[in-house]
Structure 1
């Protein structure tokens, strides 16, 4: 049976976001502009993908102020880390069960 890949994480841009956030120690967060610059995404594009990840509870967005300047932080939740672990396990299973056809077999 083929493992299911989480469609929320599987989209290329969201996978890049989750991989980046997963590299942070649990409980750490990154600023929205920092994440945007790190990924080379536009603010609008990143915002759309963060909303998709926030809906199932994979990320948490926190807004605060540094003096008068608003700052948005993004963090991967425990649920997001588990979803990513399950996603990577499914990818590994797909790769481990891939069958290579014998040479000359074009079917």
Structure 2
């Protein structure tokens, strides 16, 4: 029996995984926490990230996969990082 792959975010696949890796590389992001996944139909492309709300330690965004929607929480280095990160996400994934 082969060993299971362990490490960061092995539960995500494909285009959405690239979006999560992009988030991890943003300056000011301390940690990316994947929340619950809800299977549903949506009109957005897989991998799109949309800002949802500010939370005490950072921001909450919604990520669209090929089969549903996943909540993602970004824990930030400092509160001053919040607006630049929201603007960066908005530029890369413009609202449709």
- Is the pair's TM-score, using the shorter chain for normalization, greater than 0.5? no
Q: Could you say which structure has the higher helix fraction?
A: 1
Q: TM-score, normalised by structure 1?
A: 0.28
Higher relative contact order (CA 8 A, sep 6+): 1
Q: Could you say which structure has the higher strand fraction?
A: 2
